[in-house]
Structure 1
Amino acid sequence: MTYCAAIRLKDAMVFASDTRTNAGIDHISTFRKLYQYGVEGERFMVLQTAGSLATSQAVFNKLKTDINLRSESSLHTVATLFDAAQMVGECMRSIMTHAQSIANDSNSSTFTSSFILGGQIKGQPPELYMIYPEGNCIRATQDTPFFQLGESKYGKPILDRSVKYETDVKHATQALMLSFDSTIHSNLSVGMPIDLLIYQNDSLKMPKGHRIEQDDEYFNDISRQWSVALRNTLSELPECPADYWE
C-alpha cells in the first residue's frame, strides 16, 4: 500500500508521497511514486500514484516515452491540465485492459491504480486533479483543496482540521508531514523515505524537491513535538462529567 497527498493553496502547491511497496512481509521495497514533468517557464506537472506498481510504472514509462519521442500528444504538448488528466486516465485504462487480456484475468482490481495530477501551464491557473481507475477525474476546489491516495484515513483528520485554501504554505507543509507521521505510526505498509515537492504558484519553475529519510532531523523533531503536544493537551482537557461513569 502507499500514502500520497497533494494540497492546492492560494500561493503554492505541496505534494508528498511515501516510497514503500508491500507484497507481503518478505517483499518490502522502495519505489518512487512521485514524478515531475514540464518545461521551465512554460509548464510544470507532478504525477503521484497508488495501487498496482506494475500499472503505475507502465503509465509513467509511457508518458515519459511520449515526451522523449516528441509525440504529437504528450504532457509537454497538451493545452490544459484537464487534457493532461484525461491523457493519464486514458493511458491507465489502456494499460489495465492490455494487462487483463494477457493475464486472462477479468478481475480489474488486480491491475488498478489511481493518480493525482497537479501543476500549472503558462497563462492558466494552478490545478489539481484526482484520476480514478475508471479513467475519469475530479478537480480540487477552494472548498476541497487537497487529495489523498492509498492509506488516507490516518492522516486525513489532521488535514481536515488544519488545511484550508488560504493556509500558509509553511503551515500546510507541516500539517502534511504530520499526516504522514500519523500514517506511518499506524500502518506498516506506509514508510520512509518520503518524497516532498513544493511549487510556488505562477513561478513555472521546476522545483528540486526533497527526499525525507528515516533520520531526517526536522521530520523527527516535529514528530516528537506533536506527540508531546497531544499528550499535554489530553491531560489539560476537562474531566468527564460524573454521569458518564454511572
Structure 2
Amino acid sequence: MTYCVGLKLNRGLVFMSDTRTNSGVDNISTFRKMFHFDVAGDRSITVMTAGNLATTQAVISLLEERSKEPGARNPGIYQCESMFQVATLVGETLKEVIATHSEEGQKADAAFGATIILGGQVGAGEPRLFLVYPEGNFIEASEDTAYFQIGETKYGRPILVRAFNPDMSFEDAVKLLLVSFDSTIKANLSVSLPLDLHVYEAGSLTRGRVLRIAEGDPYFEEISSGWGVALRNAFAGLPDFRFP
C-alpha cells in the first residue's frame, strides 16, 4: 500500500510519501514514489504515485523517455507552458498506460489502477497542486481543499482536517505531516518509513529541500512518542463520562 500527501501553502508546496509497496510476515518491498522534473529557473514539478507498481513505474518512465525524444510527444513535460498542461499530459499518460495493460492481459481495469498527486510551478504561473485519477481526469487544490492524499488516507486524515492552515510555516507543515504519517504507520502495516520529503518555495523555480526520513530518525521518534503522550494527556483532561 501507500500513503502520500501534498499540501498547498501560501509559501509554496510540501510533499511527503512513504516507500513501502508490499508487506507481509516475510515480504516487504521498498520503492520510491516521489519523482522530480526540474529545469532551474524555468520549472519545478513533483509527482507522487499510488496504486499498481507496474502502472506507476510505466507512467514515470514514459514521461521521462518522451521528454528526451522531441517527436514522441509534443509538448513533453519539459515543454508544457503551464501546470494545467502538465496535469493534462500526466492524466493522458496514466490513462494510456492503464488501457495498454488492460488490453495485454487481465480484463479488470482496477488491477492496473493508480492515482497521482502532481504539483509544482512553471514559469510565471502560480504554484499549483493536482490530484490525477486513473481515468485521466484531475482536480486542483483550492482554498476549500488545499491538500490531497492518496493511498491509505483514512488514518492520517483527522490531524490534517483539524490542524492544517495554509498560513503555516514549512517547519510546521512538515511536523503536521509527520504526525499524519505516524498515525497511519501505527494503524496500518502497509505504510512505513523511509519517508521522502520535498519542500518547494513559491517563485524559486528550482527543486527545494529534499530529505529522506529513515528508520530510527531521532526527530521522527520524538514526534511519534510526543504525539502519543499528548493524546493520552488530552484524553485524560476531557470531562469524565457518568452513567445516569
Q: Quick check: 2:18–2:192 contact (8 Å CA) kept in 1?
A: yes
Amino acid at match of 1:112: G
Is contact 2:77-2:86 (8 Å) kept? yes
- Provide the C-alpha distance between the structure 1 equivalents of 2:23 and 2:90, rounded to a whole number of angstroms: 25
> Contact between 2:200 and 2:209, CA under 8 Å: does it hold in 1?
no
CA deviation after TM superposition for structure 1 residue 173, in Å: 1.3
Per-residue deviation, residues 107-164 of structure 1 (Å, max 9, x unmatched) = 1000000000000011110000000011100000122110000100000000111112
1:86 counterpart SS class: helix
Match of residue 68 from structure 1: 68
Residue 208 of structure 1, CA deviation: 4.5
Task: State the shift of 1:24 in Å.
Answer: 5.1
Q: Which residue of 1 aligns with 2:103?
A: 101
> Is 1:155–1:182's contact at 8 Å kept on the other side of the alignment?
yes
Q: Which residue of 1 aligns with 2:43?
A: 43
1:209 paired to 2:231: no
Q: What residue identity is the alignment partner of 1:15? A: F
Partner residue, 2:119: 118
What pairs with 1:1-246 in structure 2 (closer than 5 Å)? Answer: 1-22=1-22, 25-71=25-71, 72-103=74-105, 105-240=106-241, 242=242, 245-246=243-244
**Secondary structure in structure 2 of the residue aligned to 1:224:** helix
Letter in 2 for 1:36: H
Taking the aligned partners of 1:206 and 1:168, their CA distance within structure 2 comes to 18
Query: Structure 1 pair 83/25, CA: closer, same or farther in 2 (3 Å)?
Result: farther
Q: Give me the whole-angstrom Cα distance separating, in 2, the residues matched to 1:192 and 1:201.
A: 27
Offset, 1:27: 3.1
Gaps of 5+ in 2: none
Cα displacement (A) at 1:25 = 4.4
Give, as a single letter, the amino acid of the residue that structure 2 aligns with 1:78. C
**Distance apart, 1:5 and its partner CA:** 0.3
Find runs of 4+ consecutive structure 1 residues off by over 6 angstroms: none
Unaligned runs of 5+ in 1: none
**TM-score by structure 2 length?**
0.96
Q: What is the count of residue pairs matched by the alignment?
A: 242
Q: Note if contact 1:193-1:212 (Cα within 8 Å) is conserved in structure 2.
A: yes
Deviation, 1:55, is: 0.2
1:22-80 C-alpha deviation (Å, 9 max, x unpaired):
16544320000000112011100000010000000000000011123345321100011
Alignment check: 8 A CA contact 1:2 1:189 kept:
yes
For the Cα contact (< 8 Å) 1:38–1:75, is it kept in 2?
no
CA distance in 1: counterparts of 2:134 and 2:83, whole angstroms: 18
Q: 1:209 aligns to what SS in structure 2? A: strand
Q: 1-side partners of 2:26 and 2:97: how far apart? A: 27
TM-score (norm 1): 0.95
Cα deviation for residue 207 of structure 1 reads 2.2
Partner of 2:172, secondary structure, is: helix
Letter in 2 for 1:225: G
Could you tell me the percent identity over the aligned residues?
41
67-76 or 230-239: bigger deviation: 67-76
Q: Please give the alpha-carbon distance, in whole angstroms, between the structure 1 residues aligned to 2:153 and 2:4.
A: 8
Q: Which amino acid aligns with 1:171?
A: D
Query: CA 1:58–1:25 in structure 2 vs 1: closer, same or farther (change >3 Å)?
Result: farther
Question: 2:23 touches 2:189 (CA, 8 Å); kept in 1?
Answer: no
Change (3 A) 1:121 1:213: same
